[in-house]
Amino acid sequence: MKPTIGVLALQGDVREHFHALAACDAEPVSVRRESELESVDALVLPGGESTAISKLLEVFGLLDPLRARLRAGMPAFGSCAGMILLASEVLDTRPDAQSLSGIDMTVRRNAFGRQVDSFETDLDFTGLDDPIRAVFIRAPWVERAGAGVEVLARVPHRPRPGTVVAEGPSVGDPQDAAGRIVAVRQGSVIATSFHPEVTGDLRVHRLFVDSVRAAVGAGT
């Protein structure tokens, strides 16, 4: 069964998620309108600029319909900005920014620093046999995970061999964030601080697509 998975196509790295979903034998479609949201089995919220996306959700009349579908159990996956949007509470954001409360968590926006503080490292990820390469770009982290939230990955306490930190005048040290939560799941909703869509490693997308198939098969 090939599930129909929407990619919120208002801003951000939409194309990369499209390619990853198609490679995982899903049917990706763009979502910009309520009618398109109603037609999909699940939704991906891509990385981008979280405050811009939240404003566009209001402009396109998608904010309340999306909240309603999440409450009704629609599977969703958010990367980076998508994680911020799925949170129930967001720190260090604009006062008019909207969130979707898809996962009971508190997220700190731009927690790892600015663009020059971007880095890559390998993470142990629950459900995957081998570590996954994680790319962090102006990324959030999770400061509080609710009782029903499963932690899938944390920043390692020592940088993995091959960790690459972006060069710049304000280079961050990923070891400063050791132990921070960077991937979570609550029910059928998954969120990552990092961008699995840009590495060519499809395992996180496969986990998500498999969960969508299971949810659709169960009549969710």
Provide the 10 A C-beta neighbour count for residue 59. 9
Neighbours of 91 (CB within 10 A): 15
Confirm if 57 and 98 have CB atoms less than 8 A apart: yes
| Catalytic residue ranges | 80, 195, 197
CB 192 within 8 Å of CB 182: yes
Binding-site residues for L-glutamine, please?
48-50, 109, 137-138
What residues form the annotated binding site?
Answer: 48-50, 109, 137-138
